[in-house]
Structure 1
Amino acid sequence: MAPSIPSLHLAFAFAFAFAFAFSLHSVFGRYTSIFNFGDSLSDTGNLYYTCSSPNPVNVCFLPYGETFFHRPTGRFSDGRVVLDFIATWLGLPLVRPYRRVGLGGEGISAEEFGKGLNFAVGGATALDLSFFEERGVHNVPSHAVSLGIQLHWINKTYSSVCASSASSGCRDIFKNSLFILGEIGGNDYNYFLLDNRTITEVTSLVPLVVKEISSAITELIELGVGTIMVPGNLPLGCLPIYLQVYATSNPSQYDPQNGCLKWLNQFSKYHNEQLQQELERIRALHPHVHLIYADYFNAVMRILNAPKKFGFTNLHQVCCVDENRSYYFPMPCGLPSTIVCDDPSKYVSWDGLHLTEAAYKLIATSLMQASFTAPQFSILQQNSSTKLLQLQ
């Protein structure tokens, strides 16, 4: 008996759904590796190479890394960062820092390159360091690198690897990997804000920062990259360091729901809006590329607007402080005078500028599970064994 018209419609619907799901799975289903660019929010050890220098940075010492690794690893947290949780979610190993693989990329094998690399460095900026020097901003640390330098590193490594292997193989690596570009740009604003520049001056940086991110995206697309995730800025008005620097007795300056500085969060929103507009423009030019916006701002606000729901009892208090229980820039955490809270998992802020592992885990969960990416990453990504026990 021939199937009825409704049955045919149903069959076609199932066939279309299967084809669509297969298409998504083939594109997004199994990333072979992750390549990451950014600053201290995603550095997994590139700055750690300075630990043998005469003046090592604070992140070289405990209590950084105490929660998960039980030793400092160069991560600006008590444990893992968002990038680590994304890798775990995708069933991939933690992304290795560029400066600790193959002597900074020199002589790295195609096999090693295919496992992915992290080029993020603590203190990194979107703009060239000369930009800050020319404007008299002198609080940029000597170890900082620009996004342009990070792109130079991957180009250098790519050229070295692909000179001795099939170019199609290199293309396959980039096509099948997840590239994460950021968060980057936050330090550009931090250095200006912590140099007592006006909000007008800081706001004038936004088009320049977004342009640098846009140029980097275009460069990666030209290399054959198929998927790029671009995180937005954090809510700067909620970071304890800025709540300390810009403390005021005027209650109208603060959001009554979460105690954050409204004007500074408005600035973060402005950056994120401009970034998303630029991503839309790039999508129109390169419709074959999967360009994903990661909403770090609202992923953090989700926590701060209902901290008890997520197990946090300390909203704007800092876990790692100095003996006077203060925090400042550069961070006092990691010094002999450091005092650490008993349970970092109850704190959102680790050192006043960076977050705890517990907070980073929730941000990653928001990106992977909830509607904090555009397009929604949880729809595009349909693998992992029960998402590895929900990021244990």
Structure 2
Amino acid sequence: MAILNKIFSCLPVFILLYSSTLHVNACYTSIVSFGDSLADTGNLKQFVTNSKSEPPHFLFLPYGETFFHKATGRCSNGRLIIDFIAESLGMHILPYEKMKMNNAMKIDQGVNFAVVGATALDSSFFEARGVNNPYTNASLNVQLQSFKKVFASICMTNSDCKNLLGSSLILMGEIGGNDYNHPIIAGKPYDELISYVPLVINTIISAINELIELGAQTLVVPGNLPIGCSTTYLTIYHGSDKVKYDNTTGCLVELNKFAEYHNELLQTELHHIRELHPNVNIIYADYYNAAMQFYHYPLKYGFTNGALKACCGGGGPYNYNMLVACADPSSTTCDQPETYANWDGLHLTETAYHVIYKSLFQGTYTTPHFNSLCPASTISQDIFTSSSLVQSF
């Protein structure tokens, strides 16, 4: 299924309203988010609706069933990490495509440019290598250019722009995972994947540097998840005598080492940025080790059905079938998603995302620790059950 891929082209003229008043968190005036399906809260859904394209499977129940009770465009049964971040800071964050629908809009609390399927590298890179992206061409650069158009419309002077961006929390994804997901699913060899990593990292670093030049002062940069624990890849390589499994987790050793290589290279480059810009907060978010907690100890986090089997899928040893997606009439969905870490093969459940969120933003899995920079983010309300600040659209 191909979807028309012009999600972020042609920005109409907007009357954009901005309030510089700090919100209840006392740390940031707004959130600006880039990324892929780990952060998309409705951009691709809105684009499909506007363009009358064929809707992909994640725009149907049981996606969204646990929290929103309807499909919102999020690739999970409920909320994502970005939802928990926004809630903890007392903010609403709107999908860019939703905001584009209006001639006047208020974006003082944030805008989300993340799109399901997005890559760091431009789509032309993958097209030249015979790799198809069925969802979007909204690469990191496309998202950044869309942001710059909005940004330029909000403020009247360079000083205003720098002040606005300097008081915002910038979330750089997660982005880059699909630069490997699409080629792996297309059957590209491991050696070719390795060659992509420096290019992906350079693209992310280039975007960070551009945002810093525009005035960004606080950027959260996630690493890659442990893709060797992905239900999708465990299914693809199931039965192969060419792969090794971690005896303690059941994950694929080589793919996890690949993710670690990506993360090590990313951290090296982030260190260089910190040296060049000592007054800018560059926060590395260790998605890999935050997630490895429940792959090592699933029962500790309530995952009584394990961390490797999908809650929603088309059967098989891991309940994943590339020909029968979650939400397909012939797929099955578990009764208790909170007892599963994996939702649909590629994505995690709301409960798993909440574990990662807490480890990152209220724990020790960021460098430097996020809650040392913004203690107000550790607000007392139980955001895992709160619903007042999350918008479903």
**How far has the Cα of 1:288 moved from its partner?**
1.3
Answer yes or no: is 1:263 the counterpart of 2:254. yes
**Match of residue 16 from structure 1:** none
- Which segment is superposed worse, 84-93 or 165-174? 165-174
Answer yes or no: is 1:294 the counterpart of 2:281. no
Partners of 2:121 and 2:324 lie apart in 1 by: 22
**Match of residue 100 from structure 2:** 102
Answer yes or no: is 1:133 the counterpart of 2:130. no
Secondary structure of 2:150's counterpart equals helix
- Aligned with residue 112 of structure 2, among 118, 126, 131: 118
Secondary structure of 1:205's counterpart equals helix
**Match of residue 43 from structure 2:** 46
Is the helix fraction higher in 1 or 2?
A: 1
**Match of residue 188 from structure 2:** 197
User: Partner letter of residue 40 of structure 1?
Assistant: S
**Match of residue 161 from structure 1:** 154
Secondary structure of 2:266's counterpart equals helix
Q: How do 1:139-178 residues align onto structure 2 when only pairs under 5 Å count?
A: 140-162=133-155, 165=156, 167-178=158-169
**How far has the Cα of 1:171 moved from its partner?**
2.6
Matched-pair contact (CA < 8 Å) for 1:318–1:349:
yes
**Match of residue 177 from structure 2:** 186
Partners of 1:177 and 1:50 lie apart in 2 by: 26
User: Partner letter of residue 59 of structure 1?
Assistant: F
Given the superposition, is the C-alpha separation of residues 100 and 39 from structure 1 closer, same or farther in structure 2, using an over 3 Å criterion? same
Partners of 2:274 and 2:104 lie apart in 1 by: 33
Partners of 1:54 and 1:107 lie apart in 2 by: 23
User: Partner letter of residue 319 of structure 1?
Assistant: C
Percent identical pairs in the alignment equals: 48
Partners of 1:134 and 1:298 lie apart in 2 by: 34
Whichever of the two has the greater Rg, that structure is: 1
**How far has the Cα of 1:31 moved from its partner?**
1.2
Q: How do 1:278-317 residues align onto structure 2 when only pairs under 5 Å count?
A: 278-314=269-305, 315-317=307-309
Answer yes or no: is 1:223 the counterpart of 2:221. no
**Match of residue 363 from structure 2:** 370
CA RMSD of aligned residues (A): 2.2
**Match of residue 327 from structure 1:** 320
- Aligned with residue 234 of structure 2, among 236, 243, 254: 243
Given the superposition, is the C-alpha separation of residues 252 and 58 from structure 1 closer, same or farther in structure 2, using an over 3 Å criterion? closer
Answer yes or no: is 1:68 the counterpart of 2:67. yes
Given the superposition, is the C-alpha separation of residues 98 and 270 from structure 1 closer, same or farther in structure 2, using an over 3 Å criterion? same
Given the superposition, is the C-alpha separation of residues 308 and 274 from structure 1 closer, same or farther in structure 2, using an over 3 Å criterion? same
Aligned length in residues = 359
Runs of 5+ unmatched residues, structure 2:
1-21, 386-393
Partners of 1:330 and 1:74 lie apart in 2 by: 21
Partners of 1:331 and 1:363 lie apart in 2 by: 28
TM-score (normalised: structure 1): 0.87
Runs of 5+ unmatched residues, structure 1:
1-24
After superposition, what is the alpha-carbon deviation per residue over 1:278-322, rounded to whole angstroms, capped at 9, x for unaligned?
A: 000111111111000000000100111111111101221111112
After superposition, what is the alpha-carbon deviation per residue over 1:321-351, rounded to whole angstroms, capped at 9, x for unaligned?
A: 1267842447701222231100100000000
Partners of 2:379 and 2:59 lie apart in 1 by: 35
- Aligned with residue 28 of structure 2, among 27, 31, 39: 31
